Amino acid sequence: MKVIRAKSAGFCLGVERAINIARDLALKGRHPVLTDGPLIHNRQMMEKLGDEGIREVGDYESRSEINIPEKEKTEGVLVVRAHGVSPTRRAYLRSLGMQFKDATCPDVGIIAGKIKTYASKGYETVIFGDPKHPEVIGLMGYTERRGHAVRSAEDIDKLPPLGEKIAMVSQSTMFTDDFHSMAEHLLKKYPKALVFDTVCGASKQRQSDVITLAEQGAQAIVVIGGRHSANTVKLASLVEMQHLPCFHVETAAELDMKELSKFDVVGVTAGTSTPSFLIDEVCQVLEDTKN
């Protein structure tokens, strides 16, 4: 079987930065290194980090209170994960009395800064994204209670009157085409709205590479990544939009080799939170398969 691996598959710079921050703290003797919710959305990588003294506390949405033993507060460090948190959550985490380190993705930080700037000027903020995703939950905290998370044109139609001062941004991992479509719909209703395309470059590149895999002759595409990883789920959806069979797996053990062995050429891509060792394992299994 011929395997075509997407050039962009695997960690983006923001995820790699967050992991390096946590690992560096662990190597310097800060134990434990605690993260407010999963540092990244990949269970296998989180398990690997757990073996290095890095573990998750809190919850997926970064909403719950955290109970940390006094000894761990003294000897450990608390890390803000790549998705970022709201200002209120940040203040709460600092109040716990631990050494504090921010590993928010710089791209997410830029979005938060833009929201904060316009919210301070009285703007309503429309965020295209999943309202239950930790990134969106964190960004909503910068809107000064004038934020609205939307996922569809219908959501925009259901918004209360917003006036003339409106700023629109996107969760960093959304589809670019979907964002532009949503922005056009908003502008029909609010032509003076300011629109900022904040889909990150890493997400755009991975979306583009799915189309490239199809153009290179992939008859099916394997997408590797966590079930809760927004950008990985988006990649799987994009594969289906290319009318190609999609196999979304977290590890090589989940590969449906009976079905995959029917194809001569298989593409492989992965979400921004997927470590290279998982991608290597999947590619190796596929390459060793005879049709």
Q: Which of 226, 247, 233, 271 is nearest to 60 (CA)?
A: 226
Q: Which residue has the tokens 């000027």?
A: 121
Rounded to the nearest angstrom, the gap between the alpha carbon of residue 5 and the centroid of all alpha carbons in its chain is: 21
Q: What is the DSSP string of 152-178?
A: SHHHHHTSPP--S-EEEEE-TTS-HHH
Beta bridge partners of 77: 33, 99
| Residue in 75, 135, 154, 164 annotated catalytic | 135
Cα separations in angstroms, 60 against 23, 63, 143, 152, 218: 21, 8, 21, 23, 35
135 is catalytic: yes
Query: Would you call the peptide bond into 134 cis, given omega within 30 degrees of 0 as the criterion?
Result: no
As given in the structure block, the two tokens for residue 148 are 């609205």
Structural Rg of the chain based on CA atoms: 20
Distance (Å, whole) CA 261 – CA 5: 17
What are the catalytic residues?
135
